[in-house]
Structure 1
Amino acid sequence: MSVDVNSLQKTSLQVLKQSFGYDSFRDGQWEAISAVLDGQDTLVLMPTGGGKSLCYQVPAIVMEGLTLVVSPLISLMQDQVQQLSEQGVSAAYLNSSLTQDEEQAIYKRLGNHEIRLLYVAPEKLLRGYFLQHISEFPIKLIAIDEAHCVSHWGHDFRQDYRALGQLKKTFPSAPMIALTATADTATQADIIHQLNMQAPFVFKGGFDRPNIRYNLLSKYKGFDQVVSFVEQQGGNGGIVYCGSRAKVDDLTLKLQQAGVPCDGYHAGKSTEEREAVQNRFLRDQLQVVVATVAFGMGINKSNVRFVVHHDVPRSVESFYQETGRAGRDGMPAEALLLYDERDAARIKKWIADGATSDRFEIEMHKFDAMQAFAESQTCRRQVLLNYFSDYLGKACGNCDICQDPPKMFDATRQAQMVLSCIYRLQADTATQYVIDVLRGKSIRKILDNKHDELSTYAIGKSESDNYWHNIIQQLIHQGLAYIDMTRNGVLRLNESARAVLKGEKPIEMALPRLSVNSAKKNKYVPSNIDKQLFAKLKQLRKQIADENNLPAFVIFSDASLADMTTKLPTSNDDFMRVNGVGETKLERYGSAFINLIGDYLAAKA
């Protein structure tokens, strides 16, 4: 048996290098591949960008026959097939985007055994006539991508996914591999149950994405904060998530007015408009896509350098999944969350108003965990990983808390000023009005209500609006005040505020942090990249991509370009040693990059 295993491993490593350009497997990849090749059902949990796809793509090439890949989105299938084709792997997809002639051509290729991987959506796969037709082909492996969609415990429950368990009855001899980046313990068990997996091998990779730096800011004038953050990114591409279509449209306009090449994406736009935005983003013609969460799961773009959440997500899983769309190539990336207690209160009200009885506790529990992450004053990564039971023993050193720790101060006086103002306004005003009174603004409503005659009027005029907004958020975090969504979001006092107002309880707070400290760099930035050569390689990649009507990252990832600046290949053999360079890419693009590097070195000599 050991000889067979060694032989399979050797063959798999050859496929890994020849087709995908890597010399060795990452942690967990060979274990999962070995289980699949041994005919065992397999569940793989790996972080986004951790190499999940290779766990079924390598076996699909090693094994004789057809691998059926169930994928949730048309765009994701198209990206995967496009990238596999660039790597010299025979793959195709069947979905509603194809004409009848195109679909028939794929069936002909299937009949000729010319396709190794066939991507299909669950809605199409489970139609009786299609399932019967596809069963005529030699199905050797079934891969379920984004497997958390199977589970009613998951954050992205999808009804058609839950019926995929019948595939085990239709193809009893084909092993099944399910793959996801986000699944807590309950979701993992439910995936196995729903898919009828038989004693599966389970690989739980670490959830850590060390290349992503996590940042969180108290949201005040959120649109302006996003514009400022994007302007710091030096032209790098990213995604900004908003909680509503209206916010997407407003922020898109504001970024465009600031000179940022961007566009919006949400369900209110036509299919053609959404596809155009996605394609322009994939081809680096847009720096930023501003979107609702409808955008992104199908984006296989490896060079997204930042993700911003203008509004707090409804679960840690969603936050993790969405931030994971940055830095898929392993290069440095940034994540920014803007957090406002008012947003949190609205979401809780939406959950209470909209969730069914069997979903209420699940959704509220998940959002409570998200809120706890946002309000934590300890290492962001530790809190995030602990949620997935992937405990990190020490602070990460690559988040805002680690790099710029909160500076604590005695805030008893500031707390008394705010709480007293709320009390004197008779708990009938929202946050901004309280701030307006504290700062002594001469606005019509304050004057009409004679609130300029209150003792708290203008006592906080020496500090800014956003300073007081942050102080109020911290008072809410500490349970001294709360936002009453049943009364249009007014600020109210908790009983615990009484002791503070009487001077019986001191209050400590963090100095308000209102912008990302751009002086603090992502500690994951490689130190040995030749930036001048890297820029020239990116320019050449863009030129080749445009000539071939392909996204630039499909030619080579940023990580491959960075490796070129380190290894400086000037021959075919040297070029094959670059990570991400396989035989097909050497043949298609090697000479152009080798010549550029040779010319660059000659000019420097």
Structure 2
Amino acid sequence: MGKKVDLVAHLKKHFGFDTFKGNQEEVIQNILKGNDTFVLMPTGGGKSLCYQLPALILPGTAIIISPLIALMKNQVDAMRGFSEDDGIAHFLNSSLTKAAITKVKEDMLSGKTKLLYVAPESLTKEENIEFLKQVEISFYAVDEAHCISEWGHDFRPEYRRIRPIIEEIGEKPLIALTATATPKVQSDIQKSLGMSKSMVFKSSFNRPNLYYEVRAKKHATKQIIKILKENVGKSAIIYCLSRKKVEELAENLVVNGINARAYHAGMDASTRAGNQDAFLMEETDVIVATIAFGMGIDKPDVRIVIHYDIPKSLEGYYQETGRAGRDGGEGKCITFYSYKDIQKLEKFMQGKPIAEQEIGKQLLLETVSYAESSICRRKILLHYFGEKYTEENCDTCDNCCHPKEQSEGKDNVALMIKTILALKERFKADYIVPFLAGNSNSAIKSYKHHEHELFGEGKEKEEKYWNAVIRQLLVAGFLIKEIENYGILKVSEAGRAFLEKPVSFMITQEHDFEMDDVEEKSAGGTAAVDPQLFNMLKDLRKRISKRKNLPPFVIFQDPSLEAMAIHYPISIEELMNIPGVGSGKANRFGKEFVELIKSHVEENEIDRPIDMVVKSVANKSKNKIAIIQSIDRKVPLDDIAESRGLEMGELLSEIESIVYSGTRVNIDYYIDQVMDEDHRDDIFYYYKEDAETDDIGSALDELGEDEYSEENVRLVRIKFLSEVGN
């Protein structure tokens, strides 16, 4: 008993806590006894304390091997915060100067340093090995130990060299720690570190306070803005796969009034660190990042984690969602899924060694199963980590809160098990499914299985259904997937027992995320137009056009009126978000339009969409500014087109969209070069007096195609709209 009180006293003395979390105390006792220890503890469970406290108690220095420089710095700063002496913790990595390295070595030799954090790359350097041989070492801790396994989500080959180096420096107890490891990864770690006899301490992977949801990736940016606006002031992390997407999305959020910053490895170090600190210090609510972000970020109150792109593996997903709600409070994890993204990830794998591609594909398939399945998300996640979740309904995932239809599947389950056994348990799901559905392919033909008596036995159901059956039988434990054999399906004892004596088994219908997901488009065209309002807006436009003696199309074009009749803008600022309406147009003509819309909304008690038009950062905005500046400098239009890599027609479309939005440009200098005065005046007069619409075809019919080219008509139309309308 004495020792127990001791530990709590040490905990109180060094860290100010009175109690341990989960199985921290048993882990620490085991380390103090000098045993090898394997710790599997989900993010937020207090993993680092498991080696920090014994390092402070035991004589000598603990060597903590960690893959991330940012993480080391955080941990060292935290340890120094608990102690009066800065020498208590150091890190050794490529970011240190010669003088700093000398200081680290002095503190270690004098016995001040209790924890030394070191990157595996630094550990392999000859001079560091020689130096560590002179130091008294208490134990070695390998953090983020899943990096050892190519089945882990963050494989690092240099981790494979840790064991031989430890043997060279001098053997001491070893502790391996990870927040995500499937049974396969766990055995890989133990084998590679030579600690197969170690005690394993495994905490539950269930995070009951997290809500999991997967949505179809349609208008994802718009959905994200809506989510963030409904959760103002809460900390959120949004993960994207590419740096380009990170920057684009962060820019979009800022334009829409959300306090967001970007984070990725391509930014210069000071900007990146500044953005990370702004998030930690709560100067910014939202960080948009690649998965490089958040490793070792100990922000307890992240309330929302959004995956704009689905991760490459379920372990990655679990670790990233695990950054939400570490304090036990609310944590929403929302993922946008589209099968197109999976295909993109598969493409990235091409060119890698075949074995690596196979592993990558396996991991991706698990992610697809998770996204498309409609059974409890907790059940699937915990099953993946080798843990059973027995509750019928977790109440905190989209599938449990909005259950899908179920149908009796007893006979089909029996057919599936019978088929796998009949094919001698030698095939993966992607072979069994077409076989049962009766869809012959080259693989099936090569085994002559299209002649097998069971071929096509399940053809009244689609392949999608049979995939669902396999996924649900894996979670139920009737089938086993042999990961080492690239996902070959075997039947478990429970599966064989079911075949002997089938009982009721309900199959849940899966999500249909439609393969051809809609690309995000700017506002307009997605919801139904309010026909009554649309006609009222057209009448108003006609009245204004008579009053101002302007053709109606000069005021607003039809697509702009349609968008107004979808989104109901009731202020000039909202009106500026409508496609084809810039600040010039909105301020010049907008007042009567928003007043009309406002009274229509009030009279008919219309519920305006909260996600009012999302302002888009036109990626083209930089293009447009450059074009306007070139026109101001009187650069010939054909030169502008060439310098921006555009056809002349494309350049004219850009300039048209600039003037339709209400910005004035003067291209007289170019028109005077390419056509005579009479032609120019004829076209101008046609638009001023005769034109009912701004349509080019109608203009050419009226003016005569033989005499006037489409390009010239477009040039004068731009001049007309700019002078008369803006």
Compute the TM-score of the two structures, normalised by the length of structure 1: 0.65
Partner of 1:291: 289
Partner of 2:8: 13
Determine which of 319, 337, 343 is the counterpart of 1:345: 343
Secondary structure of 1:119 counterpart:
strand
After TM superposition, the structure 1 stretch with the greater mean CA deviation from structure 2, 93-102 or 46-55, is 93-102
Provide the C-alpha distance between the structure 1 equivalents of 2:100 and 2:347, rounded to a whole number of angstroms. 48
Determine which of 203, 211, 214 is the counterpart of 1:213: 211
Provide the C-alpha distance between the structure 1 equivalents of 2:112 and 2:28, rounded to a whole number of angstroms. 22
Partner of 1:29: 24
Partner of 1:318: 316
Partner of 2:263: 265
Secondary structure of 1:337 counterpart:
strand
Within-5 A mapping of 1:492-511: none
Provide the C-alpha distance between the structure 1 equivalents of 2:60 and 2:13, rounded to a whole number of angstroms. 20
Provide the C-alpha distance between the structure 1 equivalents of 2:256 and 2:359, rounded to a whole number of angstroms. 41
Partner of 1:152: 150
Determine which of 350, 371, 381 is the counterpart of 1:384: 381
Following superposition, the deviation at residue 375 of structure 1 comes to 0.9
Following superposition, the deviation at residue 105 of structure 1 comes to 1.9
Partner of 1:199: 197
Following superposition, the deviation at residue 121 of structure 1 comes to 0.9
Q: Does the aligned pair in 2 maintain the 1:215–1:400 contact within 8 Å?
A: yes
Provide the C-alpha distance between the structure 2 equivalents of 1:207 and 1:292, rounded to a whole number of angstroms. 24
Partner of 1:47: 42
Q: Does the aligned pair in 2 maintain the 1:143–1:177 contact within 8 Å?
A: yes
Provide the C-alpha distance between the structure 1 equivalents of 2:299 and 2:131, rounded to a whole number of angstroms. 33
Partner of 1:231: 229
Q: Does the aligned pair in 2 maintain the 1:265–1:274 contact within 8 Å?
A: yes
Q: Does the aligned pair in 2 maintain the 1:148–1:156 contact within 8 Å?
A: yes
Provide the C-alpha distance between the structure 2 equivalents of 1:103 and 1:236, rounded to a whole number of angstroms. 40
Give CA deviations for 1:215-244 in whole Å, capped at 9, x if unaligned: 221110111111111222231112101121
Change (3 A) 1:349 1:97: closer
Q: Does the aligned pair in 2 maintain the 1:42–1:200 contact within 8 Å?
A: yes
Secondary structure of 1:202 counterpart:
strand
Alignment-mate amino acid for residue 304 of structure 1: V
Following superposition, the deviation at residue 359 of structure 1 comes to 1.6
Partner of 2:365: 368
Within-5 A mapping of 1:161-560: 161-197=159-195, 199-351=197-349, 353-394=350-391, 395-406=393-404, 432=518
Give CA deviations for 1:331-351 in whole Å, capped at 9, x if unaligned: 221111011122223223433
Provide the C-alpha distance between the structure 1 equivalents of 2:282 and 2:358, rounded to a whole number of angstroms. 42
Following superposition, the deviation at residue 53 of structure 1 comes to 0.9
Select the structure with the greater relative contact order (CA < 8 A; seq sep ≥ 6).
1
Following superposition, the deviation at residue 311 of structure 1 comes to 0.8
Change (3 A) 1:162 1:173: closer
Q: Does the aligned pair in 1 maintain the 2:218–2:517 contact within 8 Å?
A: no
Provide the C-alpha distance between the structure 2 equivalents of 1:515 and 1:197, rounded to a whole number of angstroms. 56
Secondary structure of 1:22 counterpart:
coil
Provide the C-alpha distance between the structure 2 equivalents of 1:393 and 1:257, rounded to a whole number of angstroms. 45
Determine which of 48, 70, 75 is the counterpart of 1:80: 75
Q: Does the aligned pair in 2 maintain the 1:76–1:300 contact within 8 Å?
A: no
Following superposition, the deviation at residue 515 of structure 1 comes to 12
Q: Does the aligned pair in 2 maintain the 1:225–1:515 contact within 8 Å?
A: no
Compute the TM-score of the two structures, normalised by the length of structure 2: 0.55
Following superposition, the deviation at residue 329 of structure 1 comes to 2.6
Following superposition, the deviation at residue 260 of structure 1 comes to 1.7
Alignment-mate amino acid for residue 84 of structure 1: M
Within-5 A mapping of 1:36-115: 36-88=31-83, 90-115=88-113
Following superposition, the deviation at residue 49 of structure 1 comes to 0.4
Alignment-mate amino acid for residue 393 of structure 1: T
Following superposition, the deviation at residue 172 of structure 1 comes to 4.2
Change (3 A) 1:330 1:515: farther
Q: Percent of aligned positions with the same letter in both sequences?
A: 39
Secondary structure of 1:115 counterpart:
coil
Provide the C-alpha distance between the structure 2 equivalents of 1:7 and 1:332, rounded to a whole number of angstroms. 39
Secondary structure of 2:346 counterpart:
helix
Partner of 1:588: none
Q: Does the aligned pair in 1 maintain the 2:133–2:170 contact within 8 Å?
A: no
Q: Does the aligned pair in 2 maintain the 1:46–1:207 contact within 8 Å?
A: yes
Alignment-mate amino acid for residue 226 of structure 2: S
Change (3 A) 1:440 1:114: closer
Following superposition, the deviation at residue 102 of structure 1 comes to 2.4
Secondary structure of 1:15 counterpart:
helix
Q: Does the aligned pair in 1 maintain the 2:120–2:159 contact within 8 Å?
A: yes
After TM superposition, the structure 1 stretch with the greater mean CA deviation from structure 2, 83-92 or 393-402, is 83-92
Alignment-mate amino acid for residue 18 of structure 1: K
Provide the C-alpha distance between the structure 2 equivalents of 1:48 and 1:138, rounded to a whole number of angstroms. 31
Q: Does the aligned pair in 1 maintain the 2:264–2:289 contact within 8 Å?
A: yes
Change (3 A) 1:39 1:221: same
Secondary structure of 1:305 counterpart:
strand
Structure (1 or 2) with the larger CA radius of gyration: 2
Q: Does the aligned pair in 2 maintain the 1:71–1:146 contact within 8 Å?
A: yes
Q: Does the aligned pair in 2 maintain the 1:12–1:62 contact within 8 Å?
A: no
Partner of 2:658: none
Give CA deviations for 1:425-473 in whole Å, capped at 9, x if unaligned: xxxx95549x9999999xxxxxxxxxxxxxxxxxxxxxxx9xxxxxxxx
Provide the C-alpha distance between the structure 2 equivalents of 1:118 and 1:140, rounded to a whole number of angstroms. 11
| Structure 2: runs of 5+ lacking an equivalent | 408-514, 530-565, 567-608, 612-726
Following superposition, the deviation at residue 406 of structure 1 comes to 4.6
Q: Does the aligned pair in 2 maintain the 1:263–1:290 contact within 8 Å?
A: yes
Q: Does the aligned pair in 1 maintain the 2:262–2:287 contact within 8 Å?
A: yes
Provide the C-alpha distance between the structure 2 equivalents of 1:14 and 1:431, rounded to a whole number of angstroms. 58
Give CA deviations for 1:482-501 in whole Å, capped at 9, x if unaligned: xxxxxxxxxxxxxxxxxxxx
Following superposition, the deviation at residue 81 of structure 1 comes to 1.3
Secondary structure of 1:206 counterpart:
coil
Q: Does the aligned pair in 2 maintain the 1:49–1:330 contact within 8 Å?
A: no
Following superposition, the deviation at residue 303 of structure 1 comes to 2.6
Following superposition, the deviation at residue 173 of structure 1 comes to 4.1
Change (3 A) 1:323 1:359: same
Q: Does the aligned pair in 1 maintain the 2:180–2:319 contact within 8 Å?
A: yes
Q: Does the aligned pair in 2 maintain the 1:143–1:178 contact within 8 Å?
A: yes
Q: Does the aligned pair in 2 maintain the 1:168–1:195 contact within 8 Å?
A: no
Change (3 A) 1:72 1:282: same
Change (3 A) 1:87 1:273: same
Change (3 A) 1:438 1:220: closer
Change (3 A) 1:440 1:66: closer
Provide the C-alpha distance between the structure 2 equivalents of 1:167 and 1:390, rounded to a whole number of angstroms. 34
Q: Does the aligned pair in 2 maintain the 1:142–1:176 contact within 8 Å?
A: yes
Secondary structure of 1:285 counterpart:
coil
